[in-house]
Chain A
């Protein structure tokens, strides 16, 4: 076990703005991000190749005052920098000068390392006379041969064809696991990062932020004919296959965009920037449960943009998480920026509140159900249902057509004994549950005795709900008791503790939208 713990505190250099980082001994941290975000700079700073502010510790010892050659690291830069005037074995030999190995051990050590990377046959060749994949192996072997306590890999597979890269990735991970070598790898390839890293962070504008594994990763379009002809059908099918069944239709998405941009985007047009290639990122400014990212992605695609990656609805994001990246013309991105962002913000607000309420209720009673009412803002049912679901809650009633809930406003029209209309109603819809709402403990008990399936207690204090549950239990009835009216994240735990089966709430719909930052920049 060679690996040392690595800790960075407030490291600033060039584009880097106060990077904090902790890597456990033997950990494999992958850092993703667009080019120019500061990934390579970070590695250079750790390798001691760039002046910086802030502290770097490796194995508990400060790195700041150590020159690069005393840091005992294995650094593989993006362009490898194999020494052209030395043979491949000679390249490795140079790296052994400062290692713990004695000169007599060098030949054996070099042979073993070349063997580990399966390039023994190349030992006496010059680096210029081997293939790209072999050069990559040489660079890895040279970095490993001195038994470093930290590996720094800068885009180690970017110059390789996909097959070679995949094979080498597997080998690298195996070597890492065998040696227990602390490794930092930067890459722009998200798949690679999540395949190799046991932790993945994202670098954006010189800062590290959490990265989410995109459930609908990349929209593969390599096989699409024509360079600038996105295949919307193919992109969309990928999007829909892997996401939840609740989606807004294309017509609904088009209508939303049309409301915002009925006759063109005047600002983008008069500035004449529409044709410029651009890149757009959506970042969560706060902890939230994401919802509507699929819709946002599809809006962008329908406007002609190209979604690089996005995280699915239901993903819990930390502040600073980038959950959607898209490219395209400035016109396409500006056309859909606000409307897609707003949709995500409102939907994520609902999902986040639902998620919090579920967490609060389950804290008191792990088995309790949480359902949201149909008091969503009129006209937004589909996305509201999606948000409730994303937050981990369920829908109470989707509408009037398929569930039976008798309110006092219905009972005002009924006469005769309770048992009569209850049994008549149950016979009418034998396959459905009969729910009746009540705001009184005694009335609720009477309803339960009369055979109602579900008694919904409206705006009753916590003690009264507990009393109804106790009475139903004492009577040995199977009546389901649910609580509704005024239930919110503050009192959800108290209501859940009463023993009722379900909390019904509208509070998820009311509150501020989640906070999302969208940045559009020229690409290139």
Chain B
């Protein structure tokens, strides 16, 4: 046991050595933020933010990401509830499969989507669907929801698993039907965990780039989300709009981070027991 003074552990030489990597990480982050903020003067930033392209990208990003999030929650939460309560043989395989989108590079996922609904799709009806979706704002939603759904699924499953099955059993004996148990017991108790997952999924949808590029392309003022606007404007040397969009993304990410922290410390099942 280390000596304890005033409720804090005394500093050891090892601690001093360990401070160094921490400082490197912190400085790198600060440098990145500073690099972005310092690139433009406030006047230039205000001008860039009011550019038609910036506003278009912001509006498109918000609309598509929110639609994607709705799809992700609609599919992910019910699927998670099923996975959390039923144990069937081959579950490990299903679990691994569902984790794949989390580790798969988005660019690769987008490529796969492109081939599945592209003109040479192995399933012809999907090719007809693809003609509608590909290289359109709807394609952005497809790419974003593909990425976001598994995130919602993962966190919702973890949240449901953390609810003591005893509550469910007792609720049943008290006369609550399975659907009522889901609504009155499981959802409220898992709400904190699910909400944290939703925020994370939203952040991922907002920042989605690789899969969107493959499925929706990068067409100025058509499929131009915030990440896409950064990409297009840097490519043509117009740093003003690129940096403005980057700062908007960063500010949003920061706000979402705060929101998630608030939810994590809020009413989640862990605080009850």
List residues of A whose CB falls within 8 A of some B CB: 44, 47-49, 67-75, 77, 79, 81, 83-85, 94-95, 97-99, 128, 142-143, 146, 152
Report A276 CB to chain B, min CB distance, Å: 33
Closest to B175 in A: A98
Q: Is the CB of A85 within 8 A of B189?
A: yes
Residues of A within 8 A of B169 (CB): 44, 47, 49, 68, 77, 81
Q: Which of B166, B175, B188 has the most CB of A within 10 A?
A: B175
**What are 6 residue pairs bridging A and B, where the CB atoms are less than 8 Å apart in the complex?**
A71-B173, A72-B175, A75-B173, A81-B166, A81-B167, A99-B175
Query: Which residue in A72, A75, A79, A83 is a CB contact (below 8 Å) of B185?
Result: A83
A4 → chain B, closest Cβ, in Å? 15
B98 CB within 8 Å of chain A: no
List 11 extra interface pairs beyond A47-B169, A85-B188, A143-B174, CB under 8 A: A68-B169, A69-B174, A74-B174, A77-B166, A77-B170, A81-B170, A83-B185, A84-B273, A98-B175, A98-B177, A99-B175
**CA A146 to CA B171, docked complex, whole Å:** 12
Q: Tell me whether A74 and B272 are in contact in the complex, defined as CB-CB below 8 angstroms, given that A83-B185, A85-B188, A85-B189 are known contacts.
A: no
Q: Choose among B174, B176, B272 the residue that contacts A85 (Cβ–Cβ < 8 A).
A: B272
Please, how many angstroms separate the alpha-carbon atoms of A98 and B171 in the complex? 11
The 3 closest A-B pairs by CB, nearest first: A98-B175, A84-B272, A68-B172
Q: How far is it, in angstroms, between the C-alpha of A77 and the C-alpha of B172 when the chains are bound? A: 12
Inter-chain contacts of A98 with B (CB < 8 A):
174-177
Inter-chain contact B176/A69, CB cutoff 8 Å: yes
Residue pair B172, A48 in contact (C-beta under 8 Å):
yes
Task: Tell me the complex Cα distance, A98–B172, Å.
Answer: 11
Least Cβ distance of A152 to chain B in Å?
8
Helix, strand, loop or mixed for chain A's interface?
Answer: loop
The answer to whether A49 and B176 touch across the interface, beta carbons within 8 angstroms, is no
Question: Do A48 and B173 contact each other (CB < 8 Å), given the known contacts A83-B167, A94-B184, A97-B180?
Answer: yes
Task: For B169, give the chain A residue with the smallest CB separation.
Answer: A49
Inter-chain contact B176/A97, CB cutoff 8 Å = yes
**B238 close to A (CB within 8 Å):** no
A90 to chain B: closest residue by CB: B184
Interface centre among B167, B173, B185 (most CB of A within 10 A): B173
Chain A residues, CB < 8 A from B174: 69, 74-75, 94-95, 98, 142-143, 146
Query: How far apart are B229's CB and chain A's nearest CB, in angstroms?
Result: 43
Minimal beta-carbon separation of B120 from chain A (angstroms): 49
Q: Number of A-B pairs whose CB atoms are under 8 Å?
A: 73
Residues 208-251 of chain B, each 1 if its beta carbon lies under 8 Å from chain A, else 0: 00000000000000000000000000000000000000000000
CB-CB nearest in chain A for B174: A95
CA gap between A69 and B166 in the complex, in Å: 14
Q: Residue of B at shortest CB range from A43?
A: B173
Give the total of B residues in contact with A, Cβ under 8 Å.
Answer: 22
A146 contact set on B, CB distance < 8 A: 174-175
The yes or no answer to B267 lying at the interface (CB within 8 A) is yes
- CA distance in complex: A84, B171 (Å): 12
Q: Does B164 contact A (CB under 8 A)?
A: yes
Name the distance in Å between A71's Cβ and chain B's nearest Cβ. 7
Q: Which of B151-191 contact A (CB under 8 A)?
A: 164, 166-167, 169-178, 180, 184-185, 188-189
A83, B166: Cα distance in complex, Å: 10
Which chain B positions have C-beta within 8 A of A143?
174
Of A47, A70, A83, most buried by chain B (CB within 10 Å of CB) is: A83
On whether the beta carbons of B173 and A74 are closer than 8 Å, the reply is yes
Shortest Cβ gap from A126 to chain B (Å)? 9
Which residue from B166, B171, B180, B272 sits with its C-beta under 8 Å from A128?
B272
Which residues on B sit within 8 Å (CB–CB) of A49? 169, 172-173
Nearest Cβ in chain B — how far from A336, in angstroms? 42
The answer for the CA separation of A44 and B170 in the assembled complex, in Å, is 10
Q: How far is the CB of A425 from chain B (nearest CB, A)?
A: 80
Closest chain A residue to B185, Cβ basis: A83
A69-B172 CB under 8 A given contacts A84-B272, A85-B272, A94-B184: yes
Nearest CB in chain A: distance from B177 CB, A: 5
Q: Which residues of A contact B177 (CB under 8 A)?
A: 67, 69, 98
Cα distance A73–B171 when bound, in Å?
11
B189 touches A84 (CB 8 A): yes
Residues of A within 8 Å of B185, CB to CB, are: 83
A142–B167 Cα distance when bound, in Å, is 13
Q: Which residues of B contact A128 (CB under 8 A)?
A: 272-273
Cα separation A83 to B184 with both chains bound (whole Å) = 10
Chain A residues, Cβ within 8 Å of B173: 47-49, 68-69, 71, 73-75, 152
Q: Would you give the shortest CB distance from A93 to chain B, in whole angstroms? A: 10
CA distance A94 to B171 in the complex (A): 8
Q: Kindly state the separation between the CA atoms of A325 and B178 in the bound complex, as whole angstroms.
A: 43
Query: Contact between A83 and B175 (Cβ–Cβ < 8 Å)?
Result: no
Interface centre among B171, B172, B176, B272 (most CB of A within 10 A): B172
Distance in angstroms between the alpha carbons of A247 and B173 in the assembled complex:
52
Complex Cα gap A83–B172 (Å): 13
B175 touches A97 (CB 8 A): yes
Q: Which of A47, A49, A69, A72 has the largest count of B CB atoms less than 10 A from its CB? A: A69
In the complex, how many angstroms separate the beta carbon of A464 from the nearest chain B beta carbon?
A: 71
**Cα-based distance from A81 to B273 in the complex (angstroms):** 9
Min CB distance A439 to B, Å, is 74
**CA–CA, A99 to B173, complex, Å?**
12
Task: Check A95–B175 contact: CB distance below 8 A.
Answer: yes
The chain B residue with its CB closest to the CB of A78 is: B166
Q: A69-B177, A98-B176 are in contact. Are A83 and B171 (CB under 8 A)?
A: yes
Residues of chain A lying within 8 A (CB to CB) of residue B273: 84, 128
